Structure 1
Amino acid sequence: MSTVSVMSPDHSRSLTVLPTRPTLHAGQALDCYLEHAADANHIPPATVMRAVTDATDTTRYLLLRPTPRTLEVLSGLTGQSTASLTAATLAAVDGTLIDLSGLDPHHQASYRTVAARGWAPGQGTQACPRCLAETGTWDISWRLTTSTVCLRHGSYLLSTCPGCQRPFRATRSTLLRPIGAKTRCGNALGRRGHYCPTDLAALPVEAADPGCVDRQTRTQAQFPAMRAPRVFGEDTTARQFLEDVHGLTTLLLHIATISPGLPSGWAAQVHDATHARHRAPRWGLRLPADIPTRSRALTTATDILTSSDLEEAVTRFTPWAEEIPHTPDGLLGWAADHTRHTAGTTRLIMATHAPRRRLSRLLDTTPPLRVSTRQIPQVLPRTLYEAHLVGLFTSRAKTIRLFASLSMARTHPGITTWADAARALELPADLGSRCAAAAVASQTAAPSTVLAAITAAAGRLEGHDYRALEDQVRALTASTSWFTSWARRDRPGTRAASHPLAMQWLWTRVAHAHPAVAPHADPARARRFAATLTPEQQTSLRHAFEPRIPSHRPGDPVSTSSPAMSADAANKNLLD
């Protein structure tokens, strides 16, 4: 075993081992133990640290992953076993409570690999004042950012000294504090030989919420050995559980940052503390500084993950998911941008999103809502939308009116995608896909409710061949006599140049077709023209076209194909 030469205070003799070797208590941090050992031998902590540094290969990241040589040197100095010394560092929980893979103490930059995973230990540690008062020792678990509660006293840990406003033990140049094992803060105050005198053992503490105590118990009751709680009622590993907690807590914190309406008190505190910031917090890398807020966020995530089954977890998570903003990417896209997906979080998010996705499956198994896709308008009439679909989505009415027609088409055999449904209505395929994505992302009602509303609206559609109506409107573009006659009789002063605008009005208001495929489409001018029509003029313009509208009688065969055809051909098809 290697030995270390340590000079006595008067430098008159050296010691191969420390004469007095205090007991290394279970859970005690290595830096705290070395301070106690230095005090017990009346040796300055800096002298002990210098002797260790001179005898070993490196003391970098000593509290994270000491090298085998360092452990050997410390064992020779203190008489403690290398296993006991390892248990006094975070290396004891590597792979369970923390992931230190990739860390090489010989290469300082390797810590970036650990830091990039998020929630890595940084400068300083947390503390329980009552533990310091009773034992005078610092616990190694206090250096974990996920440790927020002292299980011995049922109180929240503290993270910042009220005297110097810095983390406890925030030393950069040396591992051991110059003041030794005293319970004072001891942080340097900027002038040589001046250290923060705050008595940490006398600081007040806040009683922890029962839920936070229970969460800390479940995740760290047998530190350093950890038994992973069950996730959604299923067994998992400690490492996977901590990854799930990391992912879900990060997502909840991001939701709380943007939403002021969540019922949870800690979420409101997060929102109030961050809403004025120019840059959103990076919760995946750093947890909230306030320990109670941090603890409650971790507890909420843990409670969701440890639900008895996935259904219960979805019920708990749904109020949070409802606060996710409606974006073109939908719930899944927003969640992917604001957390690192793990096995548990992916299952939870997909299960929460599933009710919105099930609508297409219901449509695929529903009998056709109309005899033919030719009986389905490209855009559901506004009166039917207002009667059946208002309040079921948050998207604009024109999006949902198109989506309702696409949904009716999806019930027909052979139409299995939204692009197929659009083509069946003689619309661009990409328009169907984009409309469905926007509508499903904004769906607020259950799929069964939406299907019932669409079914009711389909039952009130008039028995028209809408493809024939569209062809008739296109046919009218070649003639202006009817428009001139109508304008002279019902709208004197109308210019001949308004003929295409009247066509578009018939296209959208009578044929209920989509403006994107209207003949001579000019939506802006068409809206202005429509706004100038009086109710009487709208009625007379509709009557000028209605005698041409073909009707379909129940039981008549109608082709389910949708190629463009003339009005005469369409009417012949209805009569055959």
Structure 2
Amino acid sequence: MLADNAESDLPTLVNLAPGEALDAYLERVADANYLTTARLIEMVRAGHGSTTAYLMLAPTPATLKRIAHLTGAAAAALQNATLAAYDGTSLDLHGLDPAHQSSFRTIAARGWIPGHGTQICPQCLADDGIWRITWRLPTTTVCRTHGTYLLATCPGCQRPFRDQRHSPLRIVGSQTLCGNPLGQGPRKQCRVDLTTLAAEPADDACLQRQARQDTADAAGAVATFAGQLAAPEFTTTLRSLTALLLHLAAASRTPVNLPSWARDVADAGTPRVRRWSIRPPQDSVLRSRPLTAADHILASEDLDTAATRFGSWLEHLHDVPEGRLGWLADHTRMTPTLTRLVMAAHAPRRRLSHLLDQQPPLTASTRQIPQVLPQHLVRDHLGGLFDSRPATIGLFASLCLAKTHPHVHSWADAARELRLPPELGERTARACSASMTASPADVAAALARAARRLEIDYRAMEDRVQHLARTKRWFRRWSRHNCRGTRPGSRAYALRWLWLEVAHGHPATVAVAANPRSYRKFARLLTEEQATTLAGAIATSPHTTQESR
């Protein structure tokens, strides 16, 4: 791209290609004008106040003006050919002053700042010989045109491409050779032909992730579980979450349950501590896949889904001295969005409790909620949502249903409402929240489906069983007609069965004590007909009936 009515100190004008990197463009300018790249750099520096320090990061206005005067290209187009074009989207270069070398430390401390060198797509170079500026971004890992991962290291010299430390331009000019100095004299460069290198096909998920990143850079915002995030916040959060996933993979004791890239990180076993939040993996594949995993979390439709996805990674973090939250904060740069995600994933009980507080009551009255949800409802609606025992899930489900009522403000309140000990409600909530394998939204939906099948007044049912515990005639009558030979002492087992199987009460509140082993034998030997008639004892003996002992 040339400026209108371009005037140049050089006889041959060269068009700046869209998306071309400035240093590669200057190499083409040098070749077109039969100049060495060293001579062209001398001409750039000859301008008053011009400097090539940090040329590809943030060139000074004087430098851009000098290059524009030499090449005839527009100064704005030249700046867009540097990483300064991404300041405020994929990069934060605020505070960089080319006149003060120490200022680079300020921006480098923010992490993921491009240094020397670039990535490449060999096929793009073979097609047009243009080096793209986007290849230098750490968040660019694939070529969407050719569907391949970028290459980050030359197989000949084992260094990043364009790794010149004393001059921004290569001695080989615009040739598609590596051109890195080999340290064997001023004229010794790596001669690998970059267009002959093979690139690995990229995963579809990585290509989609790259499209979202490109959208953020172009549109200035991207959709996440937290709504539309501005590009700087999105990119910073994405990089921080990626660093966290890398650290979690490295800390995992069960890498077999991790994705293949995470197993590679876990198996590396390097004694040196990696600072992934400062410098990402150099290999583009090893950088792309955790970036994609992080973006998959950020792209969730809501916070609950995002927290569930991130929570599966937290399972690999075992007990640490500083605590889980302290460990997470120490291993990345926290952003407001990432903080929300970490807190939500770290406290599933709080997330579910908050969600239930926002729900309208799932039952007309708390009297319709048993102390323990019947097992057939647990099996039909809550199966696979928890790792706890079915009885514990049934108790927690009843507490959750009570929690949806406006006058119930805590798990202890929910327990009291169901005539359970308050500490039992809190203890059960902690245990089941830790064993949740589904998102709180899925659990709430399952509870709503189960609640539609609850129509009995369970408090009245409990009162009737309590009344039966104070009488004996009903048991003699039932055993005489349905179970001849039953000993009077079996009345305690029958009451326990009615409490657990008909009133769906909790064992901690059972009406009478009974030997557990003998009770299990009694319950196992009950026939279907006997169970039906025993359950009918509640209906035929309301608690208002006055019976003699």
**TM-score, normalised by the number of residues in structure 2:** 0.64
- Residue 123 of structure 1 aligns with which residue? 116
Of 87, 95, 109 in structure 1, the residue corresponding to residue 102 of structure 2 is: 109
- Give matches, 1:270-309, under 5 Å: 270-273=265-268, 276-309=269-302
Q: Distance in 2 between matches of 1:100 and 1:294?
A: 22
Distance 1:178 1:322, change over 3 A: same
- Residue 214 of structure 2 aligns with which residue? 220
Q: CA deviation at 1:325?
A: 1.7
Q: Distance in 1 between matches of 2:109 and 2:125?
A: 32
Say if 1:159 and 1:168, in contact at 8 Å, map to a contact too: yes
Please state if 1:50 is matched with 2:42: yes
Q: CA deviation at 1:254?
A: 1.0
- Give matches, 1:237-256, under 5 Å: 237-256=230-249
Letter in 2 for 1:217: A
- Residue 262 of structure 1 aligns with which residue? 257
Please state if 1:203 is matched with 2:197: yes
Q: CA deviation at 1:441?
A: 12
- Residue 25 of structure 2 aligns with which residue? 33
Q: Distance in 1 between matches of 2:299 and 2:149?
A: 22
Q: Distance in 1 between matches of 2:392 and 2:235?
A: 43
Once the two structures are superposed, residues 11-68 of structure 1 have per-residue CA deviations (whole angstroms, 9 ceiling, x without a partner) of xxxx971110110011100000000000001100000001111224222101111111
Q: Distance in 2 between matches of 1:461 and 1:319?
A: 42
- Residue 77 of structure 2 aligns with which residue? 84
Please state if 1:165 is matched with 2:158: yes
- Give matches, 1:81-480, under 5 Å: 81-192=74-185, 193-221=187-215, 225-232=218-225, 234-259=227-252, 260-273=255-268, 276-327=269-320, 330-357=323-350, 443-444=434-435, 456=506, 458-459=508-509
Unaligned runs of 5+ in 1: 1-14, 368-385, 393-406, 414-420, 423-434, 450-454, 464-576
Q: CA deviation at 1:220?
A: 1.2
Identity %: 48
Q: Distance in 2 between matches of 1:69 and 1:359?
A: 58
Of 7, 11, 15 in structure 2, the residue corresponding to residue 23 of structure 1 is: 15
Q: Distance in 2 between matches of 1:329 and 1:98?
A: 32
Say if 1:188 and 1:196, in contact at 8 Å, map to a contact too: yes
Greater shift in the superposed pair: 336-345 or 290-299: 336-345
Q: Distance in 2 between matches of 1:49 and 1:36?
A: 13
Distance 1:314 1:359, change over 3 A: closer
Distance 1:183 1:440, change over 3 A: same
Q: Distance in 2 between matches of 1:105 and 1:81?
A: 21
Say if 2:261 and 2:286, in contact at 8 Å, map to a contact too: yes
- Residue 563 of structure 1 aligns with which residue? none
RMSD: 4.1
Letter in 2 for 1:282: R
Q: Distance in 2 between matches of 1:45 and 1:270?
A: 40
Q: Distance in 2 between matches of 1:217 and 1:360?
A: 36
Letter in 2 for 1:459: T
| Number of aligned residue pairs | 402
Distance 1:266 1:181, change over 3 A: same
Letter in 2 for 1:444: S
Distance 1:53 1:461, change over 3 A: farther
Residue 145 of structure 2 aligns to a residue in which SS?
coil
Distance 1:359 1:47, change over 3 A: closer
Once the two structures are superposed, residues 195-241 of structure 1 have per-residue CA deviations (whole angstroms, 9 ceiling, x without a partner) of 10100111011111111111111211586x34422011621211111
Q: CA deviation at 1:155?
A: 0.7
Say if 1:71 and 1:82, in contact at 8 Å, map to a contact too: yes
- Residue 471 of structure 1 aligns with which residue? none
Once the two structures are superposed, residues 288-337 of structure 1 have per-residue CA deviations (whole angstroms, 9 ceiling, x without a partner) of 22211211111111111112222322232221122222346544333222
Q: Distance in 1 between matches of 2:352 and 2:221?
A: 37
Say if 1:150 and 1:156, in contact at 8 Å, map to a contact too: yes
Once the two structures are superposed, residues 229-285 of structure 1 have per-residue CA deviations (whole angstroms, 9 ceiling, x without a partner) of 201162121111111101211111111111214331211111112xx2223311101
- Give matches, 1:533-548, under 5 Å: none
Distance 1:167 1:457, change over 3 A: farther
Say if 1:187 and 1:196, in contact at 8 Å, map to a contact too: yes
Q: Distance in 1 between matches of 2:300 and 2:280?
A: 23
Distance 1:180 1:261, change over 3 A: same
Letter in 2 for 1:211: A
- Residue 493 of structure 1 aligns with which residue? none
Q: Distance in 2 between matches of 1:462 and 1:195?
A: 90
Once the two structures are superposed, residues 336-371 of structure 1 have per-residue CA deviations (whole angstroms, 9 ceiling, x without a partner) of 22222212212222222332346999999x99xxxx
Q: Distance in 1 between matches of 2:341 and 2:356?
A: 24
Q: Distance in 2 between matches of 1:358 and 1:330?
A: 20
Unaligned runs of 5+ in 2: 1-6, 358-365, 368-388, 396-410, 445-504, 514-549
Distance 1:458 1:359, change over 3 A: farther
Say if 1:27 and 1:139, in contact at 8 Å, map to a contact too: yes
Q: Distance in 1 between matches of 2:113 and 2:351?
A: 40
Residue 13 of structure 2 aligns to a residue in which SS?
coil
Greater shift in the superposed pair: 107-116 or 301-310: 301-310
